[in-house]
């Protein structure tokens, strides 16, 4: 069993508040020791030494919202290619969404994803299962059986459970078994055929818009249902100031509610659509600058608990279409860390608080053993330089798809080593 000593590291563990210069040791797939004084008298014989050179060593990132094409659309992304992209982005655990073909709404599909991930992936992969059968929003899936099969939470992916009575039953059932319901909030009749944020830019481009109220109304409805049922409720992707305020009020009332924001909701605004740029077509849509700033503020004050990539691979043919017909989505596994670090570099959040949104908080929500640095915890680690400047280059992506609006964007912060279960699964080729 391999013994590894990580020395000269800035140890950051958001779960415990640790932030110090020191060392960490692993044995096999577990962390054994860590601290400022570890290896002060040298590294014992027989240990492999990794000199971190002053870089940050923290828990590996956990991405709660990842869309993968397997099964059914492997030409866009497979579990294997998504795991390679995750490793390159410092992500050691991805939570895949159930909108595959077939939909992950049966135990056999949960087991299929787990088996394929075990055989082909270099990072940990856990499936969320569907809230409703076939994602149709009509009949609740067998949540109890799916949970027993190790579905970590439940979501209808990028679809909304529009019927309040169905959602009430789901939350009531979930409350009895402490299940987490992750809901995409968009009132479908109000969103209609909209393809971008409603407003001046949509009017100028002649594109149908999705009003911010479509998100707010659904969040407000769900919070009332949480109040009725006591079910654990997680907003899968917040993007508007009004919906963030609603979540803030729900938390103040003591409701069991948490929320996430996609990276693109604070890294871009609706002006990125430019002249019908389909790579900036997302769900939820890119909002105006005031909403973008509200997302930053929501992350800074803790109203928004989690940052996720909303990695949604689309092939070139489905993106290179007129904006209204183009597929929705941005890939994000390899850009989540550097884009999130912009919040640290511009002073919006401390580095520890920022990392908490991608490590300890998602781990706590999903009941995962990772997301922390402590003896006995899984040796799922990220070593990165938060200040390293570079430009995003789509040609270097490990993902099968290249649908990114960030090509050539200057950023700071890059993974140097990604470790899963004690094994190095990614090393920065420019630093070797």
Q: What is the pLDDT of residues 350-387, one digit of tens each?
A: 999 999 999 999 999 999 999 999 999 999 999 999 99
pLDDT of residue 207: 98
The confidence band for 1, taking pLDDT boundaries of 50, 70 and 90, is: low
The superfamily (CATH) of domain 60-366 is Metal-dependent hydrolases (3.20.20.140)
The confidence band for 431, taking pLDDT boundaries of 50, 70 and 90, is: confident
Q: What is the pLDDT of residues 332-348, one digit of tens each?
A: 999 999 999 999 999 99
pLDDT of residue 231: 98
pLDDT of residue 315: 94
The confidence band for 432, taking pLDDT boundaries of 50, 70 and 90, is: low
Q: What is the pLDDT of residues 189-234, one digit of tens each?
A: 999 999 999 999 999 999 999 999 999 999 999 999 999 999 999 9
pLDDT at 289 over 90: yes
Average pLDDT score over residue span 402-422: 97
Query: What spatial distance separates the first Cα and last Cα of the chain, rounded to whole Å?
Result: 25
């Amino acid at each position: 069993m391999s013994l590894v000593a990580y020395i000269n590291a800035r140890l950051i563990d958001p779960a415990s508040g640790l932030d110090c210069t020191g060392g960490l040791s692993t044995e096999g797939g577990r962390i054994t020791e860590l601290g400022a004084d570890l290896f002060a008298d040298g590294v014992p014989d027989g240990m492999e030494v990794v000199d971190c050179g002053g870089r940050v060593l923290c828990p590996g990132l956990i991405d709660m919202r990842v869309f993968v094409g397997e099964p059914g659309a492997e030409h866009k992304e497979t579990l294997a290619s998504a795991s390679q992209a995750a490793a390159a982005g410092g992500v050691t655990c991805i939570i895949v969404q159930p909108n595959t073909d077939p939909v992950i709404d049966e135990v056999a599909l949960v087991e299929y994803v787990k088996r394929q991930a075990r055989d082909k992936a270099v990072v940990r992969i856990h499936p969320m299962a569907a809230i409703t059968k076939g994602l149709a929003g009509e009949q609740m899936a067998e949540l109890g059986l799916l949970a027993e099969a190790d579905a970590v939470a439940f979501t209808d992916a990028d679809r909304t459970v529009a019927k309040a009575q169905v959602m009430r039953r789901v939350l009531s059932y979930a409350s009895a078994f402490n299940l987490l319901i992750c809901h995409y909030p968009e009132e479908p009749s109000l969103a209609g055929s909209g393809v971008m944020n409603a407003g001046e830019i949509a009017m100028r481009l002649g594109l149908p818009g999705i009003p911010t109220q479509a998100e707010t109304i659904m969040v407000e409805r769900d919070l009332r249902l949480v109040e009725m049922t006591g079910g654990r409720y997680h907003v899968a992707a917040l993007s508007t100031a009004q919906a963030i305020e609603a979540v803030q009020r729900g938390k103040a009332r003591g409701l069991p509610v948490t929320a996430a924001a996609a990276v693109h909701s604070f890294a871009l605004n609706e002006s990125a659509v430019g002249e019908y740029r389909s790579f900036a077509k997302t769900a939820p849509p890119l909002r105006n600058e005031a909403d973008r700033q509200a997302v930053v503020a929501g992350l800074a004050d803790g109203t928004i608990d989690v940052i996720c990539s909303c990695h949604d691979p689309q092939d070139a043919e489905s993106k290179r279409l007129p904006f209204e017909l183009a597929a929705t989505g941005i890939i994000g596994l390899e850009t989540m860390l550097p884009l999130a670090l912009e919040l640290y570099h511009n002073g919006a959040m401390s580095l520890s608080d920022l990392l908490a949104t991608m490590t300890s908080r998602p781990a706590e929500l999903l009941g995962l053993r990772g997301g922390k640095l402590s003896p006995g915890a899984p040796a799922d680690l990220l070593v990165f330089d938060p200040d390293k400047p570079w430009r995003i280059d789509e040609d270097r992506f490990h993902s099968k798809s290249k649908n990114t609006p960030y090509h050539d964007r200057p950023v700071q912060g890059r993974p140097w080593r990604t470790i899963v279960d004690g094994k190095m699964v990614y090393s920065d080729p420019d630093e070797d």
